[in-house]
Structure 1
Amino acid sequence: MLLALLLAPLPAAAQQRASLANHLEQALAIDAAFRTLAAQRDAVAAQRALVRSAIPGSPSVGGDWRSNLRAGPGEANEANLDVAAPVWLPGQRAALGDTVRAGVEEFEARLLLRRLEVAGLLREALWNAASAGRDLRVARDRLATSRDIARDVQRRVDLGDIPFTDSLLVQNETLGAELGLAQAEAALIAARAVYRVLTGGAEPDLPAEAVIVVPPRVHPALLAANAGVAAAEAQVRLVAATPRDNPEVGVFGRNDAGRVNDLGASLGVRVRVPLASNARNIPRAASAQADLTRAVAERALRLRLLNAEIEASRVALRAAEEAARIARRRLAVANQQLDLARRAFNAGETGLFDLFRIRQLQVEAAGGQAQAEVNAGRARSRVNQAVGAVPGAEAHFVSAR
């Protein structure tokens, strides 16, 4: 259903996404949340060493030595040595392996989701910089036109065609245009600074996303939700496979020496089997089941939110593109009005106030058209964000079965 809406990416857009992908990698390299998730994934993956181990824990070595003081120091001695190790419960090793694998996959999915989130921050920052850049161009055009009109007015004032007070009006308009230009320059500097902070110094000199790209087969958020459910299910199976602590098997030896009744050495085997109890198992099972219930509910909620977000972004895109078309037509009319008004003013057929009133309409139309174009581009970017398209990360997504 969604693919019918999406357009095929253009070669130029592919190059742009590659550049944005480079900036995304720079941003992820300094993103605290992304680095934390990567460290947590590595910590879970390190548990594979336990799964590969022949025993589910560390072996232990113990011993003691006794001397019969009544017989005299060194006359009757006894030495004991004990070596023990835990053993796997039936099915525990496989269940733990499933838990580790599901945990790693969950963090991998959460890393993809964080990648998408950072991409969203970059997209918004990029469009903010693009918007500020367009506003700056509009402000420069306004100032250039104001100065052009000011030269015409000053020439006519010098010739005595119009009063000196008209030159004051032009000066006021020119100063206003200079103030608008200074404010636009400051806004652009601030927008570029935000982008540099996100990327660790990269400049937002990329062309903004202009097309809707083909989305991944599985949205990163849904991928993370599915992985969370799988991890919770694996934990439930692990709890079921470990109704008691691990049994322990040990070998001990004893050596008697000196003035004792039975001289010599002996060897024995010791087995320790903890018993299952409700006090231990009921809370663990309830906690695992609660995590599973939460994960399933979050997955259902995430799916509803994703569908709503995608539909809302599509509606917003259609509205933004229609607004951009109207804004372009309005600007064309305003430019034509301004051209006719300037000719009429130069011919003495209209006054300066009427010229500036029409000029103000043209400035508003130019600003509205620039903002409408930015809004349309931002809407396309938000569709890409809603469907889960990460710049340069299409290969990371696989189809869920």
Structure 2
Amino acid sequence: MAEPAGLLPFDPRLSLHSVVQTTFENYPQTAMIDAMRLETSALQQRSDSWIPGYPMVYIQNNQNIAGDGEGMTQWGYQVPLWRWGQRDASQAVTDRAAESTERFGLGLKHEVAGLVRESLWNLKMMQNRHQFTRTVYEVSLKLVETVKRRVELGDLAQADLLLAQSDSLEKKTALTQAAVDLQHAHQAFANLTRMPAAPDKFDEELSRLTAITEEHPQLAALNAMIERAQADVEFVRQWKQGTQPTVLIGAQHRAFINKNLQNDTNVVLQIPIGGDAYNEPFVAQANLALTQKITERDNLIRLLQRSLKQAQQTLEADRKALDIARNRRQMAETLIRMNRIALETGEIQMIDFLKVQTTAQAAIWDAMQKEIQLKRDIAAYNQVVGVTP
């Protein structure tokens, strides 16, 4: 049978690292990184500013209602001032925002690496399944031809040919389903990576890490976000919702009935006092956001620790299972050869041969899948401990 339509070619020049990098660059959520960098830039502008808000210009003109020329005109320029320690708190928010942005990017890339790993190994599994079912189908076709010749020679009954043909059709059905599953796996990989080809090899070495460390990309990202949230709490406490001290520099021009004029210059310093009760709800809201991030971090640690334990146990179990499967495969291959000879010499019936062949092929298939599964387990283990290709 021909290869299913719509399959991606395998490019030996591609590596797991290059696929992860390309997928990351095309991943929709990377737009968040750009937005976070814009936010950091805006925060830096605020921290660099000499004033913590909008300056204001005011003009006031008062005239005597009698129209005798007596009146007063005032104008001035009002500038907000940083509170003591407030600008440092703003810069701390900026610094933590910049760090959390970079950490978020690394954490997101690690998340993408997990998706790529899963997609690639699923593709490998489906490819192996398709190749095996095609081989089994081709063997069944050869068996049909062999049985047909022996029926013509009178060595076997017509019923044996029907059994062989029925078995061949069953194998063809399995091949058809395997082809569809393979197409789906290729489509899933292409949809995720937006790449026109897949890597030919992507095996990994097992990481030496045996515990979840603070350097785990996703854990480090949450820790950076917690530090950002802590800086936000301190800034909100200092900010007091924009009720800033202000300095007002102005001038006053007064005209009297006797046509005398008076020009004055004044400086006014305004310092808000109290008002903490009004600001506390905003501080509490910032603390709530901080607590949510801490909770996310603690939940992630538990999840990673559990996943690591499961990955270790799965890896150990699948290694043992692979050794068993390899032994079963050797016995199955021997059993098929022996029963083929027995069938040709008339020692066993066709129905018995097909039963043995089905069982043996299942053992061979299981060994092939176990080989791939162990490599998949290694990739999953590396993902859990925080290894990004």
* Fold shared by both chains (TM-score > 0.5): yes
User: What is the correspondence of 1:316-355 to structure 2 with a 5 Å cutoff?
Assistant: 316-355=314-353
CA distance in 2, matches of 1:252, 1:327: 91
Deviation of 1:261 (Å): 4.8
CA distance in 2, matches of 1:387, 1:68: 81
Name the residue aligned to 2:57. Answer: 61
User: What is the correspondence of 1:1-400 to structure 2 with a 5 Å cutoff?
Assistant: 19-68=15-64, 70-71=66-67, 75=69, 78-213=72-207, 218-242=215-239, 245-256=243-254, 261-391=259-389
**What is the identity, as a one-letter code, of the residue corresponding to 1:328?**
R
Deviation of 1:297 (Å): 3.9
Deviation of 1:389 (Å): 0.8
SS at match of 2:112: helix
Structure 2 gap ranges (5+): 1-10
**What is the identity, as a one-letter code, of the residue corresponding to 2:275?**
S
Change (3 A) 1:26 1:89: same
Structure 1 gap ranges (5+): 1-14, 392-401
Deviation of 1:26 (Å): 2.4
- Farther-moved stretch of structure 1 (105-114 vs 298-307): 298-307
Given that 1:254 and 1:266 are in contact with CA atoms closer than 8 Å, whether structure 2 keeps it comes out as: yes
Deviation of 1:228 (Å): 2.7
**What is the identity, as a one-letter code, of the residue corresponding to 2:313?**
V
CA distance in 2, matches of 1:209, 1:272: 68
SS at match of 2:76: strand
Deviation of 1:202 (Å): 3.8
SS at match of 1:46: helix
Deviation of 1:254 (Å): 2.5
CA distance in 2, matches of 1:101, 1:371: 49
Deviation of 1:243 (Å): 5.1
Deviation of 1:100 (Å): 1.7
Change (3 A) 1:188 1:205: farther
CA distance in 2, matches of 1:124, 1:115: 14
CA distance in 2, matches of 1:99, 1:18: 41
Given that 1:195 and 1:202 are in contact with CA atoms closer than 8 Å, whether structure 2 keeps it comes out as: no
SS at match of 1:246: coil
Given that 1:136 and 1:185 are in contact with CA atoms closer than 8 Å, whether structure 2 keeps it comes out as: yes
| Cα deviation 1:16-46 (Å, max 9, x = unaligned) | 9972222222222332223224312431332
**TM-score w.r.t. length of structure 2:** 0.88
Among all aligned residue pairs of Structure 1 and Structure 2, give the percentage whose two residues are the same amino acid: 27
CA distance in 1, matches of 2:83, 2:349: 96
Deviation of 1:80 (Å): 2.7
Cα RMSD (Å) = 2.5
After the TM superposition, list the runs of 4 or more consecutive aligned residues in structure 1 that deviate by more than 6 angstroms: 15-18
| Cα deviation 1:347-393 (Å, max 9, x = unaligned) | 222221121111101221122123222321221111011001111xx
CA distance in 1, matches of 2:275, 2:255: 43
**What is the identity, as a one-letter code, of the residue corresponding to 2:52?**
P
Deviation of 1:101 (Å): 1.1
| Cα deviation 1:185-204 (Å, max 9, x = unaligned) | 11101011001111113433
Given that 1:16 and 1:209 are in contact with CA atoms closer than 8 Å, whether structure 2 keeps it comes out as: no
- Farther-moved stretch of structure 1 (128-137 vs 240-249): 240-249
Given that 1:232 and 1:292 are in contact with CA atoms closer than 8 Å, whether structure 2 keeps it comes out as: yes
Given that 2:15 and 2:202 are in contact with CA atoms closer than 8 Å, whether structure 1 keeps it comes out as: no
**What is the identity, as a one-letter code, of the residue corresponding to 1:90?**
W
CA distance in 1, matches of 2:74, 2:203: 76
SS at match of 1:64: strand
**What is the identity, as a one-letter code, of the residue corresponding to 1:132?**
M
SS at match of 1:110: helix
| Cα deviation 1:206-228 (Å, max 9, x = unaligned) | 32434224558710122123213
CA distance in 2, matches of 1:158, 1:213: 61
CA distance in 2, matches of 1:184, 1:260: 106
